[in-house]
A and B are shown apart, each in its own frame.
Chain A
Amino acid sequence: AQRVTQPEKLLSVFKGAPVELKCNYSYSGSPELFWYVQYSRQRLQLLLRHISRESIKGFTADLNKGETSFHLKKPFAQEEDSAMYYCALTGGGNKLTFGTGTQLKVEL
Chain B
Amino acid sequence: GAVVSQHPSWVICKSGTSVKIECRSLDFQATTMFWYRQFPKQSLMLMATSNEGSKATYEQGVEKDKFLINHASLTLSTLTVTSAHPEDSSFYICSALGPGSETQYFGPGTRLLVL
Contact = CB atoms under 8 A, between A and B. Distances in A.
Contact of A45 (B42, B45, B97, B106): B106
Interface in B62-87: none
A43 B46 contact: no
A31 interface: no
A85 B45 CA distance: 15
A46 B97 CA distance: 12
- The B interface is mostly helix, strand or loop, or mixed, namely strand
Interface in A40-65: 42-46, 49
Interface residues of B, number: 19
A45 B3 CA distance: 11
Contacts of A44: 44, 93, 95, 106
B104 interface: yes
Interface residues of A, number: 17
Interface stretch (A13-21, A66-74, A98-106): A98-106
Interface of B: 4, 32, 34, 42-46, 49, 93, 95, 97, 102-104, 106-109
Given A90-B102, A94-B34, A95-B46, 12 more contacts: A32-B102, A43-B107, A44-B44, A46-B103, A86-B44, A94-B49, A94-B97, A94-B104, A96-B46, A98-B44, A98-B45, A101-B43
